[in-house]
Amino acid sequence: MSSLYVVKMRASKRGRHISGAERITGAERIPATLGALAKRALGHELGTPDCVNLKVEAAGEILRIPELQVREERDFSTVEEGWRRVEEILRGAGIARIGEIRALFSQTYALRGAMLLDADSLARLEPDRERGVRATNMDCTAYCDPSAKNHFREALTLASKVLSAPGIVAEICVSDDPQYVTGYVAAKGTYFRIPKLKEKGDPSGGRIFLYKGRAEDVSATIDYLQKRAVIVESRPLAPCAGEGRMAQLESALGRAEAENLRRRVRVLPPDSAMVSFASNDYLGLAKDERVKAAAAQAALEYGAGAGASRLVAGGTLPVHAELERAIAGFKGAEDAILYSTGYMANLGAISALVGKGDVVFSDALNHASIIDGCRLSGAEVQVYVHNDMEDLARRLALCRGARRKLAVSDGVFSMDGDMLDLSRFLEICREHDAFSMVDEAHAVGVTGAGGHGLCEHFALAERPDLTMGTLSKALGSSGGYVAGRRQVVEYLRQFSRPFIFNTAPNPASAGGALAALRILEECPEIVAKLHGNTAAFIGALAPHLRPRCGGAPWPSAIIPVVVGDEARALEISANLEAAGMLAPAIRYPTVAKGAARLRFAISARHTREQLLAAAEALNALVTPAHL
């Protein structure tokens, strides 16, 4: 994977800080980024600086977090009205003594960083009280031009990182520019922009971070704020005034085109000679004659559609009930519930289990359906470092007062192909009385000798509280499910809106999935064929292209080749297609900007000749210099 770097600019005049900015970028963009940030420093409205410091540091592992929701507060006419709103927000986050916190802003102006306070005792926690704590090493996905300046977006990026830090429950910021009277409060996943927190001409201002947690964990929080490299996944801001609704859409499409991020729907004829490495049909069952015949028979018997939602009379057909029983048996679960898609299964399970007053803990690289389920639930969302079980444990320990806690992770990560440390994940959830949920969309039919998933792979008797899976990948059909304890599944039947209000899966999909599941149980040798194909493909790759798993066999059928640059990824994909191989370039927003890749999905239907030819072509197209 291409290395990323943090490029920082700090400018001062007669010892007073007047400008600062930073960007996270690839090595090839460092010169341009340095030039753009220097130009920004020299053109500051506060005057020409007499000192500009430019620094480049290796970013290390990048954590990607969602941007805070934005709420624009009404235009208060007085400072006191603004602070009363601050008090309401902070009290809602469990913070008292607002007047005393406000008084401390008389001391923040002299700090280079922020004041870090214990939210209950108001004890100062910064190791250096003259300097404060600086939130740094961050960027957001909204910027393409490194010289772009947007004070609101930069403040929102900083607040998003601060609120994601372990133990930080709120941030208050008052602009230190005498000409600006605005400020903000960040709490409970939201950025509240307050139009008036001081009088014009008042030079005071600064930042206060409010911490709730153990004293011995403060240093870890400070390390996160000052050292952890974070990219904030930006949300669209309000459109520019005066731009018509269709012009707004055209502008967005134009930007996507310019950034090599525009996708196009393509039709691949069924008789195409193209060898596809893009399909998630890992076992080749989508085209299996037995599966197709079962799907056709179900359609003939029950009709093209189910005709109603599951809880309406006639919506649940015998094939649905039979498939749910078969899934529960296959997964070693007490019960299972079907959804129309895997996406709906994640949305439905997460939004039913947690809501306002709860906390959901989500891996930084979870699938979009998990991310959207977390957002839609209304629960507080804590994003933990990818596959870092100790970070998950720390965050759970700091949320003891939550009504309900849910930890959710992909089992096999769809764009990276690596696997969850399931044993430790379950242990941590058990220790902290949190629901455990694992998305096995890319694990069922792939991991374990019989394709039963992660528990079989790790030989674990313990099961997650909820295991989500899909019928549309290794099982070659369409739909999704959640399997688990009987109480959990029954709870979803009563409270999961995508189950209650969505039309039941069509009979053909259910019939085809049921046949595929029976084939998988009766013919585990197709899983062994998939494992053999994956090993053969990886073995034929040049050493710099092989995925690494600490010496163990690669745990999935997903082989990522990360090239970083979007244009380069498109070029490699086009060259492969010209050679008769389909491996589309995966780009933002599926993966982060600057982390474009070719994603090879291996199937049991691939021949060894096809796999070796693809590896040979890839070896020629992607040299170590490209990575």
Give the domain ranges of the chain. Answer: 4-60, 64-233, 286-522, 525-626
| Token output for 16 | 């007073």
Nearby residues of 155 by Cβ (< 8 Å), 6 or more positions away:
173, 184, 191
> How far apart, in whole angstroms, are the C-alpha atoms of residue 59 and residue 36?
19
In this structure, CATH architecture of domain 525-626: Alpha-Beta Complex (3.90)
pLDDT of residue 240: 44
The string over 235-269, giving b where at least 16 C-beta atoms fall within 10 Å of a residue's C-beta and e elsewhere, is eeeeeeeeeeeeeeeeeeeeeeeeebbeeeeeeee
* Residue that is written with structure tokens 């996708």 in the block: 263
pLDDT of residue 237: 54
> How far apart, in whole angstroms, are the C-alpha atoms of residue 487 and residue 563?
46
Q: Catalytic residue positions? A: 414, 442, 473
Question: Contact 457/448 with Cβ under 8 angstroms?
Answer: yes
Q: Do domains 286-522 and 525-626 have the same CATH topology?
A: no
Residue 492: HSE in the Cβ half-sphere, 13 Å Cα cutoff: 28
* Residue that is written with structure tokens 């390390």 in the block: 223
* Residue that is written with structure tokens 């509280």 in the block: 465
pLDDT of residue 241: 45
Number of Cβ within a 10 Å radius of residue 162: 25
| β-sheet bridge partners, residue 309 | 503
Q: Which residues of the chain have pLDDT under 70?
A: 1-2, 43-47, 74-76, 143-149, 179, 236-244, 251, 255, 258, 550-551, 626-627
pLDDT of residue 487: 96
pLDDT of residue 45: 59
In this structure, CATH architecture of domain 286-522: 3-Layer(aba) Sandwich (3.40)
pLDDT of residue 70: 86
pLDDT of residue 238: 52
pLDDT of residue 23: 92
Burial class (CB in 10 A: 0-12, 13-18, 19+), 231: buried
Kind and range of the H or E run holding 23? strand 16-26
Global pTM reads 0.68
Q: Classify 140 in phi/psi space as left (phi over 0), alpha (psi -120 to 50) or beta.
A: beta
pLDDT of residue 1: 44
pLDDT of residue 489: 97
Distances (CA, A) of 496 to 123, 149, 522: 44, 43, 33
> How far apart, in whole angstroms, are the C-alpha atoms of residue 155 and residue 150?
9
pLDDT of residue 548: 81
Question: Contact 320/344 with Cβ under 8 angstroms?
Answer: no
At 103 the three-state DSSP class reads helix
> How far apart, in whole angstroms, are the C-alpha atoms of residue 623 and residue 606?
25
